[in-house]
Structure 1
């Protein structure tokens, strides 16, 4: 294993909402993704989802028992969406994000709204 240059890995692709797997930790993928516009409301029933904003700013809409709310994350901030929580990531100006999820986790969760064409339904692509 060699060190991973996040800048180079992010320069290796342009497609938003199409995560790249850059490393593995036990049974987890470390993924990077570019966010632009809106994702889709979705839920991961059996796993939390970890977000670290590498650059830019993102919003994560959450549907919780108390109602809907939005969490805004700036560069360098993290947030964990608890398992079983419907959420919808978005970025108005674009962002680069590091995610940690169990290997095989689908990018649109276990249940989701209709998936628009700009979202890659994937378990992640191995970064080159």
Structure 2
């Protein structure tokens, strides 16, 4: 018999999905992100409402070596920048748009309008590097 079922505010949580099919809502915190980054076989679903550029760490590239990342823009506008040999590929997402960033591709998000974003990201192993390291 499952434990008590309670509603929660999705934007305030990360939902960790493990390989066995369990879903654990984690209150968004540094400790929750640590737990997600220690998991090696699951996925995390999260929501964010970036309002200013810094909400999306535009000064850092990120990469997920454990799997593809799904991004769905619920509202607003943002640009997905993919680090490709020779030049960056830039994809504009508007309300309802989505993209799958392949495993191992360095990417970053640039805010064009205040937005609401849902992401499904592989647990564990996310890597970050500063944009200025490319210079």
Alignment of 1:64 onto 2:81: no
Equivalents in 2 of 1:81, 1:113: separation in Å? 19
> TM-score with structure 2 length normalisation?
0.60
Equivalents in 2 of 1:60, 1:79: separation in Å? 9
Shift of 1:60: 0.8
Cα-Cα RMSD: 2.7
The within-5 A match list for 1:1-128 is 9-10=10-11, 20-22=13-15, 24=17, 26=19, 27-35=42-50, 36-37=52-53, 38-39=56-57, 40-104=60-124, 109-113=126-130
Listed as ranges, the gaps of 5+ residues in structure 2 are 20-41
Q: What is the number of equivalent residue pairs in this alignment? A: 101
Listed as ranges, the gaps of 5+ residues in structure 1 are 13-19, 115-128
| Structure with greater helix share of residues | 2
Q: Deviations over 1:93-115 (max 9, x none)?
A: 2211111112345xxx313117x
Shift of 1:9: 3.4
Higher-Rg member (1/2): 2
Q: Which residue of 2 aligns with 1:124?
A: none
> TM-score with structure 1 length normalisation?
0.63
